[in-house]
A and B are shown apart, each in its own frame.
Chain A
């Protein structure tokens, strides 16, 4: 476990020294979301209706944007070789990388989304629901995206390929994440959606670290 925390701490330290990388992702998120009212028109009832879907899709794209570099830097400077040789499981290292990715993207995106939701005319309950679904849903995105990043490590045009691989696999999370806020508007229970999002996150947690480790091993060969 000490290796796990050490790896997370190292990644966070690297990000801390170059905060611009995270800033760019968050700025992309804000700009992408702001484009929708400009493209669709300022009618509040339409914006309220699409808010959750727009914010969720934008969060998904923003998370993908930062994933390309998740393993690439370690792959280029040889850190990945050391992780492969290290006497503790590579699965744990994969999980550590995804955890730090979530802390620097998923968490700030969850905090930022409700602020933008206000501009879409969402009420207090919906904003809270949006925050809760993103908080539970974004770890799944980091894990699935981490897998796509590991699979495309060293590939040609890896950025576009990563999106092509990750997006279909992220569909369930998107459906239940954005759907939760809508059911709240329809007066239905939020808990079912949150429970399913939690279940999806647990399935991803139980399967993706192994797949990521397998992908990293064959990348290191």
Chain B
């Protein structure tokens, strides 16, 4: 962690990100292109799920990234509240919509997969419901961080919320599991994964890595934008004060 502290300074971070971003973007595009090619053309058709199994290559990594993204928000929140790193606030502001988008992609692809497989777009399955609640937690974070006239207050309120949310997530997950078994003992068809075959596993891991790169890339670009936006706002305020 101590090694990363040098990035806490926005100006230094910007120099670092400008060096890293072009290569990272290039790698993301290449990885993603090859991953999608594997997912759509190379990976075999599942004997039960048919072509719909290809949705999983997008669905599963999105679920992982949306959960990891919330953990990132909590980590950034802690770093803002403990060390008052200005960059942590900007990065949290940048990362929350990206994480929320991955949660939305996970929900949408899941519902598109559910239609042919389960015969319905939505079931009140425990996993679906807890992912939906995670999406709501993201929305709350985004709304709260942008609800104040002074952006710093929104940053710190959202940081506290992210920490409370991360404590609550396991409790919510547990209670939703309990709730579902309570209401429908014969649960909906669940993918009882019989040790996934390599022909599926390799594209899946490949896609997970490429989407992780995409996540990092988007967060870095958006953080840069937030730094610039904060600078412009400060400059505008100073100009106004000088004119007054």
Q: Which of B136, B156, B164, B168 has the largest number of chain A CB atoms within 10 A?
A: B164
Known contacts A152-B144, A155-B148, A183-B182; is A171 also within 8 Å of B161 by CB?
A: no
How extensive is the interface on chain A, given as a class? 20 to 34
Closest CB in chain A relative to B88 CB, distance in Å: 15
State in angstroms the CA–CA spacing of A164 and B137 once bound together.
8
Count residues on chain B whose CB falls below 8 Å from chain A CBs: 30
Whether B178 sits at the interface, judged by CB under 8 Å, is: yes
State in angstroms the CA–CA spacing of A152 and B147 once bound together.
8
Of B44-52, B103-111, B169-177, the segment with at least 4 beta carbons within 8 Å of chain A is B169-177
Q: Which residues of B contact A152 (CB under 8 A)?
A: 144, 147, 157
Q: Please state if B160 and A156 are interface contacts (CB–CB under 8 Å).
A: no
Q: Please state if B172 and A154 are interface contacts (CB–CB under 8 Å).
A: no
State in angstroms the CA–CA spacing of A214 and B148 once bound together.
17
Q: Please state if B172 and A161 are interface contacts (CB–CB under 8 Å).
A: no
Whether A58 sits at the interface, judged by CB under 8 Å, is: no
Whether B239 sits at the interface, judged by CB under 8 Å, is: no
Instruction: Give the residue name and chain of the A residue nearest to B136 (CB).
Output: A168
1/0 per residue B119-145: CB within 8 Å of A? Answer: 000000000000001001101100110
Q: Please state if A167 and B178 are interface contacts (CB–CB under 8 Å).
A: no
Q: Please state if B143 and A151 are interface contacts (CB–CB under 8 Å).
A: no
Q: Which residues of A contact B172 (CB under 8 A)?
A: 168-169, 171-172
State in angstroms the CA–CA spacing of A156 and B81 once bound together.
23
Of A16-24, A100-108, A125-133, A174-182, the segment with at least 4 beta carbons within 8 Å of chain B is A174-182
Q: Which residues of A contact B178 (CB under 8 A)?
A: 175-176, 179
Interface majority SS on A: helix, strand, loop or mixed?
A: helix
Q: Please state if A179 and B157 are interface contacts (CB–CB under 8 Å).
A: no
State in angstroms the CA–CA spacing of A158 and B157 once bound together.
13
Q: Please state if B160 and A168 are interface contacts (CB–CB under 8 Å).
A: no
Q: Which residues of B contact A169 (CB under 8 A)?
A: 164-165, 168, 172
1/0 per residue B202-239: CB within 8 Å of A? Answer: 00000000000000000000000000000000000000
Q: Which residues of B contact A182 (CB under 8 A)?
A: 182
State in angstroms the CA–CA spacing of A200 and B174 once bound together.
12
State in angstroms the CA–CA spacing of A161 and B157 once bound together.
12
State in angstroms the CA–CA spacing of A208 and B164 once bound together.
8
Q: Please state if B171 and A172 are interface contacts (CB–CB under 8 Å).
A: yes
Which of the residues A154, A158, A179 comes within 8 Å of B179, measured between beta carbons?
A: A179
Given contacts A171-B172, A214-B160, could you give 13 more A-B pairs where the C-beta distance is less than 8 Å? A151-B160, A157-B147, A164-B136, A164-B143, A165-B144, A167-B136, A169-B165, A171-B176, A175-B178, A176-B175, A179-B179, A211-B163, A218-B156
Shortest 3 CB-CB contacts between residues of A and residues of B: A172-B175, A155-B147, A175-B179
Please list 28 pairs of residues, one from A and one from B, whose beta carbons are closer than 8 Å in the complex, sorted by A's number.
Answer: A154-B148, A155-B148, A156-B147, A156-B148, A156-B149, A157-B147, A164-B136, A164-B139, A164-B140, A169-B165, A169-B172, A171-B176, A172-B174, A175-B175, A175-B179, A176-B178, A179-B182, A203-B171, A207-B164, A207-B167, A208-B164, A211-B163, A211-B164, A214-B81, A214-B160, A218-B153, A218-B160, A219-B153
